[in-house]
Amino acid sequence: MTLFFTKMNGAGNDFILLDNRQGLLSLDASSIAYLCDRHRGIGADGILLVEWAEKEGLRMVYFNADGSRASFCGNGARCFARFAWETEHKNVGCGRLSFLTDCGTVEAWVEGERVKITMPSAKNLRLDVPISLSDRTLNGHAIDTGVPHVVLFGDYEKWTEAALQDLGYEIRWHKAFQPEGTNVNFVWKAGEQAIKVRTYERGVEGETLACGSGVTASALISSVILGMEPPIDVYVRSGERLQVHFRRTEKGFEEVFLEGPAKKVFVGQIELP
């Protein structure tokens, strides 16, 4: 089978977009893993399917690089929004649209390569969770911003990729966060209203250049732990800047938005084995 695709990235978090509005495409986990393989396939952190729901209209379906389906992806949603808008409106660069995800409806504002989206309601906030590991006990903060995240504060900027991989892997599979597992964000302050983040993503099973839901989780937790006020600038491993807007309330967070770049890389076709 020949697949026609668009490669995009959101702040370095890269995706393969496939137009499945006719509903003819069905990919199993092995096919998804093959397409995302950086040596044998196209290479990506995940796959975005552009589908059509009769009542809701456009629908985003997201798969991790290992073939598992995820309920949401922040950077992926921004890439999806730009792709869908330009496909539907013949490359007119600015506009507003909405689409369905497994976490509900997302509103998006497209301004060329800059895209702002509504994020799913943050839930399951747990502060100061003790995480007993093989060689230490860490204090983490958990929150779900469409998918589950743990946020750790420390001097992680100089950590090697291997060290971060080992720690991220152990926390990702820790019993405190089962059965779903968790993404892990390593955060440090970068200014009065700015942080830097490195993220270990489940489903990719390694550090990615950026994670939209992780950026959002890190910003929300930083407002609680570090006393930061929105909007918060977040710098990711790729060096790019995203911005998280929100409103603090007694019950948590409302009106949460993620803003950042969504760039087209190339288009192409590939034969599935």
247 is in an annotated binding site: no
Q: Which of 36, 79, 103, 211 is catalytic?
A: 211
Three-state secondary structure string covering 201-255: ECCCCEEECCCHHHHHHHHHHHHHHCCCCCCEEEECCCCCEEEEEEEEECCEEEE
Q: From CA 11, how far away is CA 13, in angstroms rounded?
A: 6
Q: Which residues partner with 255 through β-bridges?
A: none
**Set 73, 79, 94, 103: catalytic member:** 73
Q: How far apart are the first and last CA of the chain?
A: 8
Question: Would you say 201 is a known binding-site residue?
Answer: yes
- Please indicate if the annotation marks 260 as binding a ligand: no
Asked whether the beta carbons of 261 and 121 are under 8 A apart, the reply is no
Q: Is 74 annotated as a binding residue?
A: yes
Contact 62, 46 (CB under 8 A): yes
Residue with tokens 């060290």: 163
- Residue 103 appears among annotated catalytic residues: no
124 is in an annotated binding site: no
94 is known as an active-site residue: no
Distance CA 243, CA 264 (A): 20
Question: Is there a binding annotation on residue 222?
Answer: no
On whether 13 is known to bind a ligand per the annotation, the reply is: yes
Helix (H, G, I), strand (E, B) or coil at 80: helix
Tokens of 236: 């990711």
Among residues 202, 238, 232, the alpha carbon closest in space to that of 218 is found at: 232
Instruction: Report whether 202 belongs to an annotated binding site.
Output: yes
Contacts of 244 (CB under 8 A, 6+ apart): 215, 216, 219, 220, 230, 231, 232, 234, 256, 257, 258, 259
3-state secondary structure of 171: helix
213 annotated to bind ligand: yes
Residue ranges at the known binding site: 13, 64, 74-75, 183, 201-202, 212-213
Positions annotated as catalytic residues are 73, 211
Residues annotated within a binding site for substrate: 13, 64, 74-75, 183, 201-202, 212-213
